[in-house]
Amino acid sequence: MGIDVSTIFYIAGIGIIIAMIHTVLKQAGKEDWAHWVTLIGFIVVLYMVSTYIQTLFQHLQRVFKFY
């Protein structure tokens, strides 16, 4: 399975960038856009994590022979 550290840094980088964009938009009075940017960032990270969870479940099926 081997999750590499670069993926963790990639997710953290997305979080930092989204937080900065959210702050800038909120200070500019565009709170609606700030919330949308945060939601889209969350969905992107959730999609990335879900692929790893799917791989984890596939490995668990192989280990415990749940075909």
Distance CA 62, CA 40 (A): 34
Q: Encode pLDDT of 32-42 as tens digits.
A: 999 999 999 99
Place of tokens 């590499």: 4
The string of pLDDT tens digits covering residues 2-33 is 567 888 899 999 999 999 999 999 999 999 99
Cα 33 to the chain's mean position, in Å? 19
Per the structure, the complete domain to which residue 37 belongs is given by: 5-64
pLDDT band at 66 (very low <50, low <70, confident <90, very high): low
pTM score: 0.74
Average pLDDT, the chain: 89
| CA distances (Å), origin 32, targets 9, 29, 41, 43 | 28, 9, 14, 17
Q: What pLDDT is stored for residue 3 in this prediction? A: 60
What is the count of structural domains for the chain?
Answer: 1
